[in-house]
Copies of this chain bind each other. A is one copy, B any other.
Amino acid sequence: MQRKSYGNMQCPIARSLERVGEWWSILILRDAFQGLTRFEQFQKSLDIAPNMLARRLGALVKAGVLERRRYCERPPRYEYVLTERGRDFRPVLWALLAWGNAHFAPEGKSVVLIDSATGAEAEPLMVDRHTGRPLAAPAFRTAPGPAADESTRQRHSGGAGRIP
């Protein structure tokens, strides 16, 4: 049977999920952003079986999101650090954090974003880098880009209904 791959889709969301869409991957990245680097640290933090952790770390390394580095020659010890590609993933984590806080924290927020300088709570908001305007529908929407093929163009050719 084999799990179907999104990899050959043109959609950038599908391409992203191909790399981080499996169970555990995103939580591993979350912990990497918290500063964890070693196998044992991830294992303790996530309470994950070591074989699963090894598979996921391997996949994230292959995807270029993490880098495996030897930090000790003898005995051989390795650490996993975010690459630039991995560090660019942060907005996704913050969007997930905001969504979780807004909808799945009935007892109140257990993790928040804060301004390191003032300690004030920050509220993530997506804006257009150029105009600074909040990215809300229907003022902003997706459209085929320069590399879009016919099928991608058709997805965006409307007719599907109102975009909420």
User: Which A residues form the contact surface with B (CB < 8 A)?
Assistant: 3-4, 6, 10-19, 21-23, 26-27, 30, 32-37, 41, 45, 47-48, 64, 81-82, 85, 87-105, 107-117, 120, 122-133, 135, 137-149, 152, 155-156, 160-164
Contacts of A99 in B (CB 8 A): 12, 16, 88-89, 91-92
Task: Check B116 against A124 for contact (C-beta < 8 Å).
Answer: no
CB-contact partner of A125 in B102, B126, B164, under 8 A = B126
Task: Check A21 against B26 for contact (C-beta < 8 Å).
Answer: yes
Task: Check A142 against B117 for contact (C-beta < 8 Å).
Answer: no
Copies of chain A in the complex: 2
Contacts of A104 in B (CB 8 A): 12, 15-16, 18-19
Question: Given A16-B104, A109-B146, A163-B34, does the pair A129, B135 have CB atoms closer than 8 Å?
Answer: no
Q: How far is the CB of A3 from chain B (nearest CB, A)?
A: 6
